[in-house]
Homo-oligomer: A and B are copies of this chain.
Amino acid sequence: MTGELIEDFVAVKDEKEASQIYNKGCYGQPQSGGALKLSLIEAVYLFEAKRVEIKRKNRRMSFVQLFRYANKRYPDFEIRYIVYRDLRMRGYVVKPDIQPAHFRVFPRGGRPSKTPSRFWVLAASERGMFDLEDMVSQMRRVQKARKRLLIGIVDEEGDLTYYQARLMRPKGKVKPNDYEISADALFLGDRVLVLDSDEAETLHTTEFFGKFIGEGLQLSLLETAYLLEMGVIILRDAKTGRKIDLAQFTRKAKRIQPDFDTRLKVYKDLKSRGLIVKTGFKYGTHFRVYKGDPEKEHALYLVHAVSPAYHSTWPEISRAVRLAHGVKKELLLGRIVEKESEYIRLKRVRP
């Protein structure tokens, strides 16, 4: 079977050939006269599979010529092709070039006009940037269409990894408590101790704040800021004995953790959702998040608090997702945009 390369598509003009190609795999778009219009990516795939030959100005093209032609026309052709080819070889029916994703993917034997698509796929290079704002707006559009979004990342050697990305709303079981105490707490330079053992006990048993070190309850910087804002603790400097208010404390905390504000916003939002939040240091992330008692259950999520305009590289994202999976947790990126919170769940999947 033969197709003719015309600019950015390939036309299969023989009616019988056109319908054979379309009927086995739904390649291309059938035209009114009986011909079939293949996109470049479909043509390259069918060429590689030896199902079509391609002519240009009546001369046969080699695979390498066609591949180079497509690469010249589309700078990211190869990346998209690797993803398209992989999905096709897994038996899916794949339709290229939709917005907001690159491909709509249908189950094996599905018909794009009749079967609902199984998921939408974006193709990206490992060298591309991960742009959160961009990703969120794509997720929104895909979720509005009630579809799943997969992102296929092509690495240096042409290997593929797929991530499922979605916006979600985490929820826990521990409502923030109204404390009727104002506990004395001591600022020790980079952490805080509550020394009265009854007050320490109250804070630890109701919302699992802090960690006991000897008889004192050690609070993290975030817990301290949270409890200061709630008026539950009175903070004093360990050296001078002077009182420290929330604004002063926040300034000190920023010197230790430059992204303290970003973390605190997400921390407060997670607390308001009834979740218990502990440091995620061991996992190289900001928070381990529990639905209930952290001493009785495992953390469900690892949450990374990010700024609204967060950028990262795909290897970084890959590492964080992989790590969360390794410990059977889900990775969430959390950000607060104005007063709205958004949590993006990223999950490695096999399509």
Contact = CB atoms under 8 A, between A and B. Distances in A.
Interface of A: 48, 63-64, 68, 71-72, 75, 78, 82, 125-127, 153, 155-159, 161, 186, 188-191, 195, 210-211, 213-216, 218, 220-222, 238-239, 256-257, 278-279, 281-285, 314-320, 322-323, 325-327
Contacts of A222: 156
Contacts of A257: 127
A135 B283 CA distance: 21
B63 A159 contact: no
A318 B126 contact: no
17 contacts: A68-B186, A71-B189, A125-B190, A126-B281, A155-B281, A157-B218, A157-B278, A159-B282, A161-B281, A281-B315, A281-B318, A282-B322, A283-B318, A283-B322, A284-B317, A284-B320, A322-B327
The winner among A155, A157, A186 for most chain B CB atoms within 10 A is A157
Question: Within the oligomer, what is the number of copies of this chain?
Answer: 2
B319 A159 contact: no
A253 to B, nearest CB: 11
B155 A279 contact: yes
Nearest to A222: B156
B71 A238 contact: yes
Closest 7 interchain pairs by CB? A284-B319, A326-B326, A155-B281, A156-B220, A156-B279, A157-B211, A323-B323
B318 A284 contact: yes
A283 B319 contact: yes
A188 B156 CA distance: 12
Nearest to A209: B157
A325 B282 CA distance: 12
Nearest to A323: B323
A215 B283 CA distance: 41
A204 to B, nearest CB: 11
Contacts of A221: 156
Contacts of A155: 279, 281-282
Contacts of A126: 279, 281
A285 B315 CA distance: 7
A8 B322 CA distance: 47
Contacts of A315: 281, 284-285
Contacts of A327: 322, 326
B188 A78 contact: yes
Contacts of A159: 211, 279, 281-282
Contacts of A314: 281
Contacts of A326: 322-323, 325-327
A188 B71 contact: yes
A218 B125 CA distance: 15
A238 B318 contact: no
Contacts of A161: 281-282
A239 B158 contact: no
